[in-house]
């Protein structure tokens, strides 16, 4: 907890790179993302073959966000949000909905 230095403003960890032992910091605006990629998808319906509109929840306590998702041939799902979303974080869940119907979910890369 804590990095033992002062940046002169509030900063957040936006990425951890264990292979290079780096911690990337960003101010609040730097936490927004236009999309994400999810792995290890667990589908509760037959996944669509083409791009589809959905709502995506990136944290349990946050609202879902309108997006377009594409299931890639390698099993990953690429999500493009209609508007940037704050802090979709690697390792957390990305859960896809069609209105209130749960489509499936996976882990954010």
Q: Which tens digit of pLDDT belongs to each residue from 11-60?
A: 888 778 889 999 888 887 888 999 999 999 999 999 888 999 999 999 77
User: What is the b/e burial string over 35-49, where b = at least 16 CB atoms within 10 angstroms of the residue's CB?
Assistant: ebbbeebeeeeeeee
Rounded CA-CA distance 14/101 in Å is 31
C-alpha–C-alpha distance, residues 27 and 15, integer Å: 12
Going by their DSSP bridges, the two strands 22-26 and 32-43 should be labelled as unpaired
pTM, two decimal places: 0.83
The CATH classification number of 32-108 equals 2.40.30.10
């Amino acid at each position: 907890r804590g990095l033992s230095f002062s940046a002169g403003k509030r900063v957040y960890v936006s990425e951890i790179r264990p292979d290079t032992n780096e911690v990337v910091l960003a101010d609040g605006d730097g936490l927004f993302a236009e999309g994400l990629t999810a792995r290890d998808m667990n589908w509760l319906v037959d996944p669509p073959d083409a791009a589809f509109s959905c709502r995506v929840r990136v944290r349990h306590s946050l609202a879902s966000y309108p997006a377009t998702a594409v299931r890639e041939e390698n099993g990953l799902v690429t999500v493009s949000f209609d508007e940037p979303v704050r802090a979709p974080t690697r390792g957390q869940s990305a859960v896809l909905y069609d209105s209130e119907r749960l489509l499936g979910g996976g882990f954010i890369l």
